[in-house]
Amino acid sequence: MITTKTLTYLGLTVLCFLSCVIIVVFFDHNPFIRGSLGDVVIVMLIYFMLKTIHDFRPPYLALFVLLVAVIVEIGQYLDLVGMLGIQESYVTRIVFGSVFEFGDLLAYAVGVSLAFLLDTKILPKVLTR
């Protein structure tokens, strides 16, 4: 059964997805928006997408999403995409990135924190009205 809560998370997922598309299409050459803001939004997208699928406990979900993002960033540092020989793919570069930046880790933490706070502090107040 689809609940109001599920639809809310689905709506947030779509909003984050559309934000990511706008960032990639229109701000590809802006390092701050494409890099930092894009990283904030992408972890929020992953958080809300997973929350749409299952009502995971927020602290565990936040830690999981952050861990996945950090693992991807470590993969960039180790150049795993290059080692696997898939660096020529545009999609691979979009999904996995191509350059390690310490600031990305901060952006992931900010995005996960925003998603967590929205999920635990704001949405409960909105959904109980």
DSSP state letter for 54? S
What pLDDT, on a 0 to 100 scale, did the predictor assign at position 117?
98
Domain boundaries, the chain: 4-127
Of 23, 120, 108, 21, nearest to 68 by C-alpha is 108
Q: pLDDT, tens digit, for every residue of 13-66?
A: 999 999 999 998 998 888 888 888 999 999 999 999 999 999 999 999 999 999
Q: pLDDT, tens digit, for every residue of 16-30?
A: 999 999 998 998 888
DSSP state letter for 35? I
Q: Is the dihedral of CA 97, 100, 103, 109 positive or negative?
A: positive
Higher pLDDT, 129 or 30: 30
Contact predicate 99/35, CB 8 Å: no
